[in-house]
Amino acid sequence: MAELPKKPFAWQKWVLGVVMVVGLIISAQATGTNLPMFFQNFGQFTIIFQQMLSPDWSYTAYVVDPLIETIKMAILGTTIGSVLAFPYALLVARNIVTNRWVVGIFRFILNVIRTIPDLLLAAIFVAIVGIGPVAGVITLAIFTFGMVGKLFYEAVETIDEGPIEAIKAAGAGKLEIIRFAVIPQVSNYFVSYVLYAFEINVRASTVLGYLGAGGIGVFLQRALSQFRYDRVGLMVLVIFVVVLVIDYVSGKLREALI
């Protein structure tokens, strides 16, 4: 009788499994994870949740202005970050700039920027420029720069080389190559990435205010520190609606612009 071939001993899977288990045990100790304790105190959690489920509707009028400020912050941050990311991405794309050192160094800078979490940037810029939406705009601009820059240079590196060679053969310079052979191939990607960044920025901008960087987060922080969970509930609900609307608009814009 024919037999199935034997599987080779999957030692890698075993190593991974052991690492996982040991990692979990160590992590549980390091973080003081105690799930029974959580379930004992689950009542506390549900009390807060119940308060949030009965939102303070009278507060709606007060959150409209900070909400508009939040959206403005997201628009400005996305715009500034994307405008900076566009030339930078061309600079770090291997098929545009052939100098390996230039590409390597600028790509390293981009990667470092991308590692810093958004709220951490907000904490730093609140310390530098002071409390207010400007710190939020700068934070979002840097965050967008890292994200769009990375996505866009990857798109630039996958373009078809044919048009570049063709117009190079016709005597085009570097700028003409970028203008007539590169940009037409990647502009749709760029628009799509910018809109994607905008969606993420709207979500991010709602909490930046928690650290003083403007927008509805400031009010969120105030309500949380006053234990007004009914107001927190209202704001979470309003943020949810705004995010849904923005996602919808951004989806429609993507269809229209591309």
Q: Can residue 200 be called a binding residue for another protein (CB under 8 A)?
A: no
Report the site for another protein in 82-111 (rule: CB under 8 A).
Answer: 111
How far apart CA 119 and CA 208 sit, in angstroms, is 6
CA 218/CA 235 separation, integer angstroms: 11
Measuring CA to CA, how many Å separate 251 from each of 37, 121, 240? Answer: 44, 28, 17
| Contact call for residue 158 and another protein (CB under 8 A) | no
Contacts for 204 with CB less than 8 Å, ≥ 6 apart:
74, 118, 140, 143
CA of residue 79 relative to chain centroid, distance? 14
Radius of gyration of the chain (CA): 25
236 sits near another protein (criterion: CB under 8 A)? yes
Task: Give the residue among 98, 202, 218, 89 at the shortest CA–CA distance from 148.
Answer: 89
Span of 29-37, 55-63, 89-97, 176-184 interacting with another protein by CB under 8 A: 29-37
The C-alpha angle 164, 111, 104, rounded to 5 degrees, equals 50
Under rule CB under 8 A, residue 207 binds another protein: yes
Annotate each residue in 47-86 with x if it binds another protein (CB under 8 A) or - if it does not, as one string. Answer: -xx-------------------x-xx--xx--x-------
Indicate the angle between helix axes 229-257 and 42-53, nearest 10 degrees.
Answer: 70
Q: Which stretch binds another protein (CB under 8 A): 38-46, 53-61, 87-95, 164-172?
A: 38-46
Please identify, using beta-carbon distances, which residue of 174 and 227 lies nearer to another protein. 227
Applying CB under 8 A, which part among 28-36, 95-103, 144-152, 158-166 lies near another protein? 28-36
Closer to another protein by Cβ: residue 182 or 208: 208
Find, among 93, 130, 110, the residue nearest to 212 by Cα: 130
Query: Residue 174 or 251: which CB sits closer to another protein?
Result: 251
- The contact set with another protein (CB under 8 A) reads 23-24, 26-28, 30-34, 37-38, 41-42, 44-45, 48-49, 69, 71-72, 75-76, 79, 111-112, 115-120, 123-124, 127-130, 132-134, 137, 203, 206-207, 210-211, 220, 224, 232, 236, 239-240, 243-244, 253, 256-257
